[in-house]
Structures are given as C-alpha cells and as structure tokens.
A and B are shown apart, each in its own frame.
Chain A
Amino acid sequence: MAEHTELREVHLDRVPSLGSLYAQALGRMAQTVMAGRPPTTLPAVRYAADGVRADADQLAGYQQLLGEPGTDALPAGYVHVMAFPVAVAVMARVDFPLPLLGMVHLANVVEQRAPIHLGETVDVRAWAENLRPHRVGTQVDLVTEVSRDGEVRWRGVSTYLAKGRKLAGADATQGTEGSEHTERSEVALPPVAGRWKLGADIGRRYAAVSGDRNPIHLSGLSAKLFGFPRAIAHGMYTASRALATVGVARGEAFRWSVEFGKPVLLPGAVTFGLAPAAGGGHRYAGWDAKSGKTYFSGSITPL
C-alpha cells in the first residue's frame, strides 16, 4: 500500500506495555487538550517489533475467559491482544494528533489469513492511516500486521473516534459516514442464541488477560473520570466472545468484523444473536433486551 513507502520504520525492542503507554498519555492529556489545535496529519512512522511470541500462561487465561478451545493455535482475538500495544505506541506519540485516552473504539476488522501458534515468533508492524472527519469529531484507522517469515498472517484495522475534535479544513457536510452510535435498524437482529451475564469484574478479568487496563474498564470510580456512569466492558471482549461462540466453524482463514454501538455498562446483560450470513459464515449482534439498543454487531466470514 502507498502509505508504506512514505513511512519511516521505528524499531521497538519489545512490545510495549499498555499500562505505561496509558500512563504517558494520561500525563500528556492536559497539555493536548489545552493546546486545542485542530488535528492535521498523522505521524509518518511505522512501528516495528520483531521476534514476538505468545506467553503460554496468558494464552491459557485468555482462552479460558473467552471460551476459546485450549489448543496451541492463537485465537484471532489473542493475536490482537499480543500485537495491538504496538499500534497504541503510535497513538501515544507526542506528534499523534488525537488524545489516546478518551477515544472511542468504533469498529474493528481482522483478517486472519493463516493461524499462528504458541512458540512461533512473529513480527508486528503498526501505523495510523486514513485520518478523516466524522459527524461528531475525527476518526482514524490503526493498522496492525502480524507476519511470519515475511508473510502477513493476521491483519487488524481498528477505527477510533476522537469526539469533538474537528479535522482542520473539514466542512460541516463531511463526515456523515457512520454516526457514533450507529443505528442498524435496516438489518434485522439475528435470532437469540445466548445471554451473557457480565459481572462487575469482567473488565478487570479481561484486563488481566489482555493487558488493557484502560481505566474506563476497571471500576466505576475510574470510569467516571472519563464520563461513563459505570465501568464499561472492553469492546474487544464482546467481539472476541462472539468469535469464540462461532468457534471452529470460522475455519482457519476468515474475516472478523465488528461495529460497536452503545457501551455495555457493568454489571450488565447482553442478549446475543447469531445467524448464518448470506454469503457464508455468520453474522452476530449483541443488544440490550429491554431497550433493544445495539451494543455491537458484526460478521465472521470465510476468506
């Protein structure tokens, strides 16, 4: 892709910890907000971490929490957990134009082209692209590629929204693609296939196996600091649980997409629906039984 050639590669010694990245971001939050200058360009860098491998204990904890089979094949959601901190490191840069903390995860698309196994070393590349206006702010894609022997086996695109940050030069008519809480009333909800009772501790439990200790997931108190009435479930927890429910039917090469709607406040319950997709694979959604509001929806389709 064109952007590759323009990006300067920055090598990291290892995959950074999300905790330290969040701490850095927290330290800078005030100054970014104070500066208040409109976002213009993305840093022209591609972060690289080579020789990355899964940790057996972390993998087991992840598989058990999400309901993934306990084999040595890494679940696609676990590869995200393993590689995504490299992308977060890009977002934590001083020259990244949007504030890392407080951004909303709008959507995520993963292509698993071939499975990765415990014990295999992989190379991670991550960069930001496609800074574009959104109805209520600015959105950006974080791309993460995980390769083995030069062949990309896993590719993830995570779309984030910075609310209230208007892109420099964007006019009001732009950015109508997708609202923050997308209404998908045109697509009928799939039939009910499950009900997830999510305890108050599910954010902490997913944080323990993913390393993602974003304060909005950990406790009511820390979530309130960021404007949420209670702690909210990690979006990737819900999407990964949907992936685990489809299970081995997803095959070895698949595309796994999700769009996030309303956040799941904890403790809470998600009504989960699943149906065969028109062109093969499955589509899924999670919603609130009482209000009918969608928490997330997506599909898992063969590549």
Chain B
Amino acid sequence: MSTTSTTTQSSQAPASPPTQTRRAAVVGANRIPFGKAGGAYSSASNLDMLTAALSGLVARYGLAGERLGEVTAGAVLKHSRDFNLTREAVLGASLSPQTPASDVQRACATSLEATWDIANKIALGQIESGIAGGADSTSDAPIVVTDRLRRTLLKLARAKTLPQRLQLLAGLRPGDLAPVAPDVAEPRTGLSMGEHQALTTREWGIARQAQDDIALASHHHLAAAYERGFFDDLITPYRGLTRDEALRADTSAEKLAKLKPVFGRNGENPSMTAGNSTPLSDGAATVLLASDAWAAERGLPVLAHVVDAEAAAVDFVRGEDGLLMAGAYAVPRLLHRTGLTLDDFAFIEIHEAFASTVLTTTAAWADEDWSQRKLGMPAIGEIDRSRLNVVGSSLAAGHPFAATGARIVGTLAKLLAERKAADGGETPVRGLISVCAAGGQAVAMILEAA
C-alpha cells in the first residue's frame, strides 16, 4: 500500500493479478452517538448498534440495493451467537444481500484494522468499494457460565445413560453455577488496563495537571465541533441520543481537579481519575471506502486517501514496555518508512484511552535516548499540541472499543477535506492516527486529503 500509483482501474475485474496498487479513498463515514455504559443504549446489542450505524451510512450515500465488495467490522466483547456479526448487520441494513461480510478483531484498534483491510483490498484492485466498522456494548456484554459448568454441560450432552448423567451433575458445586462476567484485566498479568497505564504514567513521570488538561481540551473541542455542526454528516441519532453521552461541555479544570484517583492507588501520587480516563461505553461506527473511479461513477466526492499503516506490539507481559505504549513504536516506524516527519501532518489523532496514554506516547516520541535504545532511530520530536485531537477524542466522546478506529478515520478524513478546501492549494494535507489496543498493540495510519 505504500507504493502510490494514481492509476485507476475500471470496475471490470482484471484478467491477471494486479501489479500496481492505488490509494483507497475515504468517501464518508457514519456513527451513532456513543452512549455511556448503562445509559441510552443499555438494551441495544452490538448487532443493533452496528446495523443502525451501517443503515445511516447506506442512507447518507444512497447505497440501498448496492452490492459492495466487502463489509468488514467487529466487536471486542462478543457474544458467541454473533459469530457472523457483520454479515448479519449487512442483512439487516438495506445493502444488497449479495454484499459479502467478514468479522475482524484487534481489540481497541478493531475498526482501524477493518479500515486497513478494506483499503488494502481496494488498493490491490480486488474490490472497488467496501465498508469498515465496529461496535461494542459494555451494557450488553456477554455473561458466560463457569468452565466447570460448561465442561459438565458438554459432557452431559455426550453422555449416553442416565447414571452417567447423574454422576456428571453430582460433580457440580454451587459455586460452579455462578455467572462469569467478562474481565477487563489483561489475561497474562491480571492488571486492568487502567492499572497498567498507572504503572506507565509513573514510569514517565506524567503529572495530574497535564492529564486533566488533555481531558478538558477533549470535552471543549468536541462540544465546539458539535456546535459548529461538524458532526452533522458524520452521525445518525439513535435511541434518543444526538450527542455523545459522556460529553461534558461545561466541565472545567476545577471540576476535573476535584476527582479522586481511581487507578494506581497502591503507588505514590496516583493521578488517573474518572475524568482523565475513558468511560465504559456503547456505540458503533462505520467508514465508506472505495476506489476513486467507483466514487466518481456515483458522483460522490472523496474526502481523503489512505496512504499507509503500521501495526506494532510491545512486551508488556515481562514489563519491557507499558501495555499501551505500542504507538510509540508504530508511529516512528511508519514515518521512517514513508519518509515523513511530524511537521508534515496538519492533524494528529491519538486515541485517548487515558489522557496519560497520549502523554506517555508523545513523551516517548520526543525522547532521544528512548528512541535510540528501543527503536534504533532518532526521536521523531515534539508534537504541535494545536494539531492534536482538534475536535475532541475518546475522553469526551467515549470509547466503545471496536468503534473508536472508525470514528477517528471518519473524523480525520473530514478535517482533512475541510482544511484542503480552505487552503485551496496543491500542498498535501496529511493526518496521522495512533490507536493503542489491549494485548500491548497499536495501529498507526496516515490519511491525506483528496
């Protein structure tokens, strides 16, 4: 995908495998407002929310009855019945039922991964159009039975005689019957994401004030963006919500400063609060991608192109790096590969899993010693804070895990198109995305205004 031929191909399938690639276009995006856990979407399922976001996208871009090349989406907290979540959402939306669909999952980077997958298929000429997305509900999270009960039930189904069945049932204890809720802790360390980030926060010496500043900016930027109508063509209201439920337009430095720390309380000077950490959320988001030719045929303007992407992972299990620090690797490697510098980006979108994730990641980017030691390359430098998360990010919008990547891609594509229109020149207008994910992972992506 890093080779950038501008050749467009006709919608007709090529006779032989493609030898040139093209940049996939971001045509538009749609999401539902994000809800807080137990809030407006408490009775909605992942499938309900993904179908709602997808239907809104289909309506906005007149895709009813269209057979798209692929729809790829996912959820992090997933019921076993949702094994074909995305295909079910396609069948529930008004796309052609002949539109194929697949499910993906890369924790909090799920829909950024889906965007990358669809963009690559378009870049290779394998498909002409596709939708990437994700949905997550913490309100409707799957509750499962204990391992012992599950194993007993499976053996019971295979048992042939009544005595065998009775013997199996007799082996159960009362505790085996208790329901098991999904654990937000990392399986290999037992630490929650917040506790992991608290360790990283301490390691990098990030102050409480700096974290609250990030949170305050997120709320004020998001509120201002709603006020100026920025999200009018990016959001479809759902279940009575027209704005993100976590958004506190009237929050202040004083209010944020009053909150008590919730993570890292075993250590000195805990600084991570409910105000500078993302709330558990419900929601869904989608992005429409296509070849330039496909968009032109339908008279749809293109917002931006996908330039390149890079995934990275860190060894957090053995404490080599913090759980959410993979963005400190993905972004410098991506810049190195594309020959770009931080100054080449008009906008920088860093997913605010926690305010301190943004601060520790950018601190690593600017740290010469760290960069030489860990990456074997010079530091990429300080970011210009006026370009960071300019219309708010996850702290204010909320963070339904699998939906966040698609929210950011849609938001950034529109920001780039706005800036390009305002500049009116031929100078490239680029945006950078970094999304950290559970399991010590991150995905970075570069978009460029069309």
Docked complex: B256-312 residues within 8 A CB-CB of A: 266
Among A131-139, A159-167, A190-198, A224-232, the stretch that binds chain B is: A190-198
Do the beta carbons of A195 and B189 come within 8 Å of each other? yes
B316, closest chain A residue (CB): A193
A199, closest chain B residue (CB): B175
Do the beta carbons of B189 and A193 come within 8 Å of each other? yes
Do the beta carbons of B175 and A245 come within 8 Å of each other? no
A38 within 8 Å of B by Cβ?
A: no
B64 within 8 Å of A by Cβ?
A: no
Chain A contacts for B189, CB-based, 8 A: 193-195, 245, 272
Q: How far is the CB of B19 from chain A (nearest CB, A)?
A: 39
Q: How far is the CB of A58 from chain B (nearest CB, A)?
A: 13
Chain A contacts for B175, CB-based, 8 A: 201
Q: How far is the CB of A278 from chain B (nearest CB, A)?
A: 15
Q: How far is the CB of B201 from chain A (nearest CB, A)?
A: 13
Chain B contacts for A191, CB-based, 8 A: 199, 319
B188 within 8 Å of A by Cβ?
A: yes
A267 within 8 Å of B by Cβ?
A: no
Do the beta carbons of A274 and B266 come within 8 Å of each other? no
Do the beta carbons of A246 and B319 come within 8 Å of each other? no
Chain B contacts for A190, CB-based, 8 A: 319
Take A67-B188, A194-B188, A194-B190 as given contacts and tell me if A247 and B199 are in contact as well, using a CB distance cutoff of 8 Å.
no
Do the beta carbons of A195 and B317 come within 8 Å of each other? no
Main secondary structure of the interface of B (DSSP, over half): loop
Do the beta carbons of B266 and A194 come within 8 Å of each other? no
Docked complex: A231-270 residues within 8 A CB-CB of B: 245-247, 249
- Tell me the bound Cα distance from A195 to B188 in angstroms: 10
Do the beta carbons of B187 and A195 come within 8 Å of each other? no
Do the beta carbons of B190 and A195 come within 8 Å of each other? yes
Do the beta carbons of B191 and A194 come within 8 Å of each other? yes
Chain A contacts for B81, CB-based, 8 A: none
Chain A contacts for B188, CB-based, 8 A: 67, 194, 245, 247
A201, closest chain B residue (CB): B175
Most buried by B among A193, A249, A289: A193
A275 within 8 Å of B by Cβ?
A: yes
Do the beta carbons of B317 and A193 come within 8 Å of each other? yes
B385 within 8 Å of A by Cβ?
A: no
Do the beta carbons of A246 and B318 come within 8 Å of each other? yes
- Tell me the bound Cα distance from A163 to B388 in angstroms: 64
Per-residue interface assignment for chain B, residues 404 to 440, with 1 indicating a CB less than 8 Å from any chain A CB and 0 otherwise: 0000000000000000000000000000000000000
Do the beta carbons of A289 and B266 come within 8 Å of each other? yes
A194, closest chain B residue (CB): B189
Partner of B318, one of A195, A245, A271: A245
Q: Using a Cβ–Cβ cut-off of 8 Å, how many residues does chain B contribute to the interface with A?
A: 13
Most buried by A among B175, B189, B191, B319: B319
Do the beta carbons of A197 and B190 come within 8 Å of each other? yes
Chain A contacts for B195, CB-based, 8 A: 195
Do the beta carbons of B191 and A195 come within 8 Å of each other? yes
Do the beta carbons of A245 and B317 come within 8 Å of each other? yes
A282 within 8 Å of B by Cβ?
A: yes
A64, closest chain B residue (CB): B147
Docked complex: A173-202 residues within 8 A CB-CB of B: 190-197, 201
Do the beta carbons of A196 and B190 come within 8 Å of each other? yes
- Tell me the bound Cα distance from A64 to B146 in angstroms: 13
Do the beta carbons of A67 and B318 come within 8 Å of each other? no
B319, closest chain A residue (CB): A193
Docked complex: A274-303 residues within 8 A CB-CB of B: 274-276, 282, 289
- Tell me the bound Cα distance from A247 to B188 in angstroms: 10
A247, closest chain B residue (CB): B317
Take A195-B195, A201-B175, A289-B266 as given contacts and tell me if A282 and B318 are in contact as well, using a CB distance cutoff of 8 Å.
yes
Docked complex: B186-218 residues within 8 A CB-CB of A: 187-191, 195, 199
Chain B contacts for A275, CB-based, 8 A: 319
- Tell me the bound Cα distance from A196 to B190 in angstroms: 5
Most buried by A among B147, B175, B266, B318: B318
User: Residues on B close to A: CB < 8 A?
Assistant: 147, 175, 187-191, 195, 199, 266, 317-319
A-B CB contact pairs (8 Å), 8 listed: A67-B188, A191-B199, A191-B319, A193-B317, A193-B318, A245-B318, A272-B189, A274-B318
Going nearest first, the 9 A-B pairs with the smallest beta carbon separation are A194-B189, A193-B319, A195-B190, A196-B190, A289-B266, A194-B190, A195-B191, A274-B319, A191-B319
7 new A-B contacts, CB < 8 A, other than A67-B187, A191-B319, A193-B317, are A193-B318, A194-B188, A194-B190, A194-B191, A245-B188, A273-B319, A275-B319
